[in-house]
Amino acid sequence: MSRLCPFVIIADTTTAAALLQHHPFILCAILVITTAYEVPEQNAFDATFRELLAKTVIIEGKRSLDYLQGLLIYLSWHQTSFRHENAQVFQLLHMAIGKMNVVYAVF
Amino acid sequence: MLPELGLISWDGNAKFEVTTQSIDAQRALVGMYYLSCGICVLGTSQPQMLPHGDCILKAAAYITRYGNQPGDKHMMSLVFMMSRIEQVRLSLSSKGNVHGQDPWQRVQREFEELSAMPGLPPWLQTTLLYRYVTF
């Protein structure tokens, strides 16, 4: 995957357990995009990803690189979870960039 | 949010201690720019929310200098390519003809110039071809 998305590097030796412990958001994003051929599982992981995003970022207001990297992975394969009815992928992208843009404007 | 993520320092200066996390943070910034170009400008014609600037260039240069992954040495090429595509797209959407040129001729010329860049990796060529087709 790193060859196709060189913006998030995960070592070959990293296990799923280690990801779950240290980078749960990245693991959840990976599970969403790698279950493209198992629709029920993908829908379940997708729901979990969005719930985790809402809980950590919106409700708890946490900010971490894990969150940004997870969104990067998720949005890089946005075609797997694109929903025409609400185009939420764009909302997620705007939410991430909008927060970055506040500081970027003064840089 | 950028300082809190370690993407820039609090005083606005791009002075980073080289760590794995600092390089990861720079990769994330360049990746967000890449996505912003791909989805906002080209995919949906929405306003570009993370425009090209010094911050992006510094991040790409930082990755190129200190990164040790195969894709790191191509980050400057990637940023350069996306900024050119962004410029062409914006100029096409503003007036139609650009400096009296046929828009398609300009797109084709830009595509040929970018394709001729030395050492362009396969994944960048695929991206470039996709962007060209979706114009």
Domain ranges for chain B: 2-134
- The residues in A 55-94 lying below 8 A from B, measured between CB atoms, are 63-65, 68-69, 72, 75-76, 78, 89-90, 93-94
Asked if A100's CB is within 8 angstroms of B1's CB, the reply is: yes
- For the stretch A1-55, pLDDT in tens is 666 778 888 888 889 999 999 889 899 999 998 888 888 998 899 899 989 888 9
So what's the ipTM on this one?
Answer: 0.82
Which of A2, A88, A100 to probe by mutation at the B interface, max B CB count within 10 Å? A100
- pLDDT at residue A107, rounded to an integer: 35
- Collapsing DSSP to helix, strand or coil, A105 comes out as coil
User: Mean of the pLDDT values across residues A73-99?
Assistant: 74
Q: What is the pTM of this model?
A: 0.74
Closest Cβ opposite residue B28 in set A2, A72, A78: A72
Q: What percent of chain B has pLDDT over 70?
A: 50
Cα separation, A52 vs B103, whole angstroms: 44
List the one residue out of B61, B71, B63, B60 whose CA is nearest residue B122.
B71
- For the stretch B80-126, pLDDT in tens is 888 887 777 777 666 544 455 566 666 667 667 766 766 666 666 66
Can you give the three-state secondary structure of B105-135, one letter per residue? HHHHHHHHHHHCCCCCCHHHHHHHHHHHHHC
List the one residue out of B61, B78, B69, B76 whose CA is nearest residue B128.
B78
Domain definitions of chain A by residue range: 17-104
Confidence grade of residue A103 (pLDDT, cut at 50, 70, 90): very low
- For the stretch A6-19, pLDDT in tens is 888 888 888 999 99
Rounded mean pLDDT of chain A? 80
